[in-house]
Homo-oligomer: A and B are copies of this chain.
């Protein structure tokens, strides 16, 4: 950018983030130069702090800054129902609705041969381990209604059904191609209520 190398480097860093194009990245880099040193320090501290404190919950694999995440640690949550989701954002969407009282399992991705994401990259080993002691009676596969979401749901259903655990899928109600995190609360509640067996 006009021979200001350190500004180019910063803009490239912003451009690496998802959904940030080259124009936006330049804008963000320039905006950051307007920050006071205190503001820069606060931003950097927030990044380092989040990276240091946040890890995966050993039970559900959701992100948390505690030993066990608040959902898994809550004795009033129904541990016999596990809602399997792609990522933390999907958990946040469900928790906002407050219609769901079971627990979660976060896959941290969806199977996508196009992007080179194989089942090995997901937390399926950890999911299977949770199903060994008979506590879990139902697994709700709540991946989005996209090609990857459907493929992942099918894969998980075939993996779990031999264990005798009931596998359900969110009901129609989520618009086709829609991302879970953008579903409104009513759509999400209906999708939960109308969940069906995977046949």
List residues of A whose CB falls within 8 A of some B CB: 1-7, 9-10, 12-13, 17-20, 23-24, 26-33, 35, 37, 40, 42-44, 46-51, 53-54, 63-65, 70, 87-89, 91-92, 95, 181
Contact = CB atoms under 8 A, between A and B. Distances in A.
B2 A46 contact: no
Contact of A27 (B19, B24, B42, B49): B19
Contacts of A65: 4-7
Contacts of A87: 30
- Each complex incorporates copies of this chain amounting to 2
A92 B7 CA distance: 12
A32 B47 contact: yes
B2 A95 contact: yes
15 contacts: A2-B92, A4-B63, A9-B50, A13-B42, A13-B47, A18-B28, A18-B31, A19-B24, A23-B181, A26-B89, A33-B50, A33-B63, A37-B51, A40-B47, A40-B48
Contacts of A26: 89, 92
A139 B91 CA distance: 57
Given A2-B91, A91-B2, A54 B33 contact: yes
Given A63-B4, A64-B4, A88 B30 contact: yes
Given A6-B54, A89-B30, A13 B63 contact: no
Contacts of A181: 23
A20 B92 CA distance: 19
A48 B47 CA distance: 13
A170 to B, nearest CB: 20
